[in-house]
Structure 1
Amino acid sequence: MQISRLGRTITLVAAVGALGVAGCGGSSSTSPSSDTGNGGGSTQADGGGTPTGTLVIDNSFVDKGIDPGHEFTPTNNMLVKAMYDTLVTFEPGKTEPVPSLAKSWKGSADTKTFTFTLDTAAKFSDGTPVTSADVVFSLNRMVNMQGSGAFLLDGVTVTAPDDKTVVVESKKANPALLRILATPPTSILNSKVLKAHGGTDAKDANKTDKAEAYLQTASAGSGPYVLGTAQQNQQYTLNANGKYWGEAKGFPKVVVRNMAAPTQLLNVQRGQNEIALDLSAQQAGTLKSNGALQVTTDASVNIFDVEANMDSKVSPTGDANVRKAIRLALDYEGYTRLSGEGASQAAGLIPSQFLGALESSDAVKQDLDAAKAALAGKTGIKLKLSYPSDATPNGVSFSSVAQKVKSDLDKIGIDVSLDGRPAVTFLKNYAAGKNQLSVSYWGPDYPDPNDYLVYAPGASGRAANAKWTKDMAPEIAALGEKAGSTLEDSERGSLFQDFQRKLNEDSPYFPLFQPAQAITGSKNLSNVVLDPTYTLNIPAVGSN
């Protein structure tokens, strides 16, 4: 992740902080739509358990519009997933690729090329077949428009040997491509419809494509839903696609509303078919005794960590013994309590839900005696701890985390001064490698361990910000390169675990915790699961 992407993450987080709630969002709430009543549509499952009525989803919006080629926010990912298909997809809450538009695929041994065979049954919502030309157009358009998700296919070319075959080739080894091609920005659009409304996949599409306005009023996909009405930053209505080529299991109508968390807390208690996405763990906890609701609180895929500067001219943390002392001094169990029920210690930098995650037994444990011994009697160590003071991702204040880091390091004689700044200022100093010690946060771009190679020594992004060069840890750098270019998931997962164990021994990073996240829904609903890729997999939500 380049700093621009880190900047987007922190910006979204800061917006959430303004509301003081968990989840991804930041806009003010709107009144419930007149066509859904005050608490959602009534429903009765028919004899086969098929849902009827209207599903109502409350979310605190971050809304850049629903053109797949432009969007890349949690709110828009959820909406786009419902209306468009990708080459491969994930089951609710999972990160293992399964067939979607592509019924099968094969990866090359060097992990540079993936060949997909399209399902001949796949059709767009207007009834026309999905062809390889639509895939090439859609992916090229996304890249050439230089939208938020364009970085996902950096160095990638897409070709179509025939109507039902797509070849995706990367300039460098990239086993993550398979999971990247399940993300909503890589959705496949009806190229004929897009061209008729000013769409183009030309190299200058960032200047010449005119289809975004059309896609805010109509959908052009092959997914289970089509767009009904759209009021950006307020409300979207989705209707079941009557020509859907797959097995439709969802509600015939879905309304997604922009609501602040306090309003979500009230709405979800009013009836059936309601889902609230942005309650904090504490807010959701107040509803667990309500027999009409299902409340799930677990660990987010986001990770809080502390990051040190490896440049001895900038920070005392250039000393390996100081880093070891910090690693052993941190009260990891205490950080999970800051977030509430459902949070967990981050055993490594890859979240527990992803391929390559470490087991909890690999997690670093606090040992104050060993931390003091690592300092070997050194005294007078002073550190400035920087953090974005205006952000509360998943309802956790960076200020609270920073205060605890200061308290923990004080116990081993390290004097910490707090340097809280607005996110914009924090990011500027972080990118320039000026921070001695930082409280940071990572939200994944896509659910694959390759997204975490930015932590490898010599990598751009996180490693560069920490001034951690390849020559400082060549063994770890080589291990990261091998893990990031291995095709088979079983071997790749093992290599990424070894990579993280090395980082836990000595690196600029100190993983703290995966904060708690909550999702609350009516008891009659099934598959009410927060999804690491789609926020909520709307087509999968049904009736019990």
Structure 2
Amino acid sequence: MSTERTAWLTIAMQRRRFLRLTSLGAGLIGAGLLGACARPPATPTTAAPTAAPAPGQTPAPAASPTPVTAATGGTFVIARLTDTITLDPSRQYELTSPIVMGACYERLVTIQPPDIRTVQPHLAEKFDITQDVTTYTFTLREGVRFASGNQLTSADVVFSFNRLRELKDNPSWLADIIQAMETPDARTVRIRLTEPNAAFLAMLVSPNFSILDSTVVKQQGGTDQPGADKTDKATEWLNQNSAGSGPFVLKGWVKEQEIVMERNPNYWGQPAALERVIIRHIPDPTTQRQLLESGDVDAAHNLDGDLIAELEQAGTAQIVRGDTLDTEYFAMHTSPEIGKELADKRVRQAIAYAIDYDGIIQQILRGAAVRPPSVIPSGLLGVTEAEDARYQTNLERARQLLGEAGLANGFDLTLTFSSGGTEVGGVSSEVLASKIADDLRKVGIRVTLDPRAPDVRLADYRAGKLQCTISGWTPDFLDPHGWAIPFGVPGEAAAKRVAYNNPQVADLFQRAARTADPQERARLYAEGQRLLNEDAPFLCLYQPKAQIAVGKNVQGYVFDPVIGVDLSKVRKS
């Protein structure tokens, strides 16, 4: 084993010991994201979906909840680092709150993991999309009532979406694409967009699009009118109570202590098996493990790879795994002024061939990750179609490209990372940067590691000042649109940070967003990814898996990349 490899492995071992004393275990990342998923087929199916709902097509409603067959009742306790700032569905934008949103509120459409590509009707019994993907019409289910007993109507949908936009809080931008909403009757909502957008249905899976009981929220001082950012008074009440139609109701929240939910006695669907759910703030992963093994908690959300492996070996818990849609990537500035040698795409391609991706996944992440061909995560539309564009480690090809670029003797490169930081999947920023530096040195690239405070690194990256860096991307909604535009269109979030500009890539991704046909969308996204990879401004390093430990007596726990877990399906035997 080389001295260089020994160095980064030593850092990794030290970091793993540190993670046991902190809240940065891999289970945290990806549990409860703010989004939806890629365009799906219209009718739910057990087969792998290949097509989205065709415009004008009415999909079948989601199947009725499966009757509970195991013993029902009891309290389910989750141990995790809680980052909750608010439990107002129209304001929340953190990682813990979506678990509560999924339990106490519902949305027009949903997904049923592990199938994350099929958007299914939920509070809506059907939807219709115009051919130009500018108008979405939803027909609401009959007989749905909120926990208050009030009946769900189209007015509640309009209120919820307007309030999301008018609060002008972190997630409000999600509703900016809505131009107008019409309610022809109490069960019909027609939404017109400001521009064609085939991703809008997937966006509606986001917990921020939860439907609120407008009567109750208004009684608590809530409003959906312009100026709501200054006049709405409902958030304080919503932090302690819920106003939804979900299988649970919120009973209280004490910051950095616990969140308590109880079964909704007025739920319109199949009642939840559990009587009560408590999310306890337990930041220490080792303590989480001990409480799980003693039976004091039923799920541990923040265990690192070592603790997961120890639990599996001991046989004292079940390990639930699922695919997140977070990605970790390597970014390279494309301008001569900042990127210097990286301005030559042959040099960027050489780096793409030099990185030991398998080593990162197997040695640092203990195999708990996959690697999509581009920055768009596996599981989304158009990714499988781009598999032929994936870079594989090839040191000979890397050296050849450097020689063609006139850099046969290598060059100096500054790799900036977050000092003391953690990347997606709970990976130490220092460990990952050190591993990449070791890989690049094998082809003659002399890497200087440049640690900066996490907020400084992020600010400098956003300002386009870094030659190269490692960074993570977590989605706001789970459609390829949520990656294609930021990474592929000049001036957008990630592209502008590295001065990336390829009009052909931008055109392909923008056309995909306006295209209704899912097969054509997939083709456009795949072609855009091939060209993006050829330019190589961004290299996907890995896509981490969620790993959650649950008690041996727990059934029905499935990881959900949108809400963390559907608690209505969880039960204890």
Report the TM-score, using the length of structure 2 for normalisation.
0.84
Question: Which residue of 93, 99, 103 corresponds with 1:78?
Answer: 99
Question: Which residue of 353, 366, 388 corresponds with 1:340?
Answer: 366
Contact 1:300 1:343 in 2 (8 A): no
Contact 1:519 1:528 in 2 (8 A): no
CA distance in 2, matches of 1:173, 1:340: 42
Matched, 1:302 2:326: yes
CA distance in 2, matches of 1:16, 1:529: 25
- Once the two structures are superposed, residues 11-32 of structure 1 have per-residue CA deviations (whole angstroms, 9 ceiling, x without a partner) of xxxx99953422438xxxxxxx
Aligned counterpart, 1:355 = 381
- Once the two structures are superposed, residues 151-175 of structure 1 have per-residue CA deviations (whole angstroms, 9 ceiling, x without a partner) of 2122313332221111222212211
SS of the equivalent of 2:432 reads: helix
Aligned counterpart, 2:5 = none
Shift of 1:380: 5.0
**How many percent identity over aligned positions?**
32
- Once the two structures are superposed, residues 294-342 of structure 1 have per-residue CA deviations (whole angstroms, 9 ceiling, x without a partner) of 1134553211110111111211211111111111111111111211132
Q: Which amino acid letter does the alignment assign opposite residue 294 of structure 1?
A: Q
CA distance in 2, matches of 1:206, 1:503: 39
Q: How does 1:174-253 map to 2 (within 5 A)?
A: 174-253=197-276
CA distance in 1, matches of 2:477, 2:161: 16
CA distance in 2, matches of 1:424, 1:517: 25
CA distance in 2, matches of 1:104, 1:501: 36
Aligned counterpart, 1:28 = none
Aligned-residue CA RMSD in angstroms?
Answer: 2.2
Aligned counterpart, 1:462 = 494
Please, which moves more after superposition, 120-129 or 387-396? 387-396
Matched, 1:489 2:518: yes
Matched, 1:170 2:193: yes
Q: How does 1:29-68 map to 2 (within 5 A)?
A: 48-68=69-89
Shift of 1:496: 2.0
Please, which moves more after superposition, 77-86 or 104-113? 104-113
Contact 1:88 1:99 in 2 (8 A): yes
Unaligned runs of 5+ in 1: 1-14, 26-45
Please, which moves more after superposition, 453-462 or 153-162? 153-162
How many residues are treated as equivalent by the alignment? 507
Please, which moves more after superposition, 448-457 or 341-350? 341-350
Aligned counterpart, 2:414 = 384
CA distance in 2, matches of 1:47, 1:538: 13
Aligned counterpart, 1:141 = 163
Shift of 1:457: 3.5
Shift of 1:349: 1.3
SS of the equivalent of 2:472 reads: strand
Q: Which amino acid letter does the alignment assign opposite residue 563 of structure 2?
A: Y
- Once the two structures are superposed, residues 333-392 of structure 1 have per-residue CA deviations (whole angstroms, 9 ceiling, x without a partner) of 111121113222232212223333337665311111111111124235222111222321
CA distance in 2, matches of 1:143, 1:82: 23
SS of the equivalent of 2:337 reads: coil
- Once the two structures are superposed, residues 258-310 of structure 1 have per-residue CA deviations (whole angstroms, 9 ceiling, x without a partner) of 11222211111123870111111221111113445211345532111101111
Cα gap change, 1:298/1:114 in structure 2, threshold over 3 Å: closer, same or farther?
A: closer
Unaligned runs of 5+ in 2: 1-18, 30-66
CA distance in 2, matches of 1:159, 1:502: 41
- Once the two structures are superposed, residues 434-475 of structure 1 have per-residue CA deviations (whole angstroms, 9 ceiling, x without a partner) of 111111111111111110021113141001111012xxx222
Shift of 1:139: 0.9
Aligned counterpart, 2:120 = 98
Q: Which amino acid letter does the alignment assign opposite residue 240 of structure 2?
A: T
Question: Which residue of 537, 542, 556 corresponds with 1:513?
Answer: 542
CA distance in 2, matches of 1:535, 1:427: 26
Matched, 1:480 2:480: no
Aligned counterpart, 1:35 = none
Cα gap change, 1:240/1:201 in structure 2, threshold over 3 Å: closer, same or farther?
A: same
CA distance in 2, matches of 1:361, 1:318: 25
CA distance in 2, matches of 1:418, 1:273: 41
Aligned counterpart, 1:19 = 23
SS of the equivalent of 1:254 reads: strand
Matched, 1:128 2:150: yes
SS of the equivalent of 1:74 reads: coil
CA distance in 2, matches of 1:361, 1:524: 43
Contact 1:520 1:528 in 2 (8 A): no
Matched, 1:531 2:566: no
Q: Which amino acid letter does the alignment assign opposite residue 155 of structure 1?
A: I
SS of the equivalent of 2:547 reads: strand
CA distance in 2, matches of 1:145, 1:365: 46
Report the TM-score, using the length of structure 1 for normalisation.
0.89
Contact 2:389 2:529 in 1 (8 A): no
CA distance in 2, matches of 1:391, 1:17: 15
Aligned counterpart, 1:394 = 425
Aligned counterpart, 1:259 = 282
CA distance in 2, matches of 1:117, 1:516: 36
SS of the equivalent of 2:267 reads: coil
Q: Which amino acid letter does the alignment assign opposite residue 143 of structure 2?
A: A
Please, which moves more after superposition, 214-223 or 390-399? 390-399
Aligned counterpart, 2:15 = none
Q: Which amino acid letter does the alignment assign opposite residue 69 of structure 1?
A: S
Matched, 1:313 2:337: yes
Question: Which residue of 431, 441, 448 corresponds with 1:410?
Answer: 441
Contact 1:386 1:438 in 2 (8 A): yes
Q: How does 1:264-279 map to 2 (within 5 A)?
A: 264-271=288-295, 274-279=298-303
Contact 2:369 2:545 in 1 (8 A): yes
Aligned counterpart, 2:50 = none
SS of the equivalent of 1:400 reads: helix
Cα gap change, 1:357/1:47 in structure 2, threshold over 3 Å: closer, same or farther?
A: closer
Q: Which amino acid letter does the alignment assign opposite residue 480 of structure 1?
A: F
Q: Which amino acid letter does the alignment assign opposite residue 439 of structure 1?
A: I
Contact 2:412 2:445 in 1 (8 A): yes
Matched, 1:115 2:147: no
Q: Which amino acid letter does the alignment assign opposite residue 513 of structure 2?
A: G
Aligned counterpart, 2:401 = 374
SS of the equivalent of 2:125 reads: strand
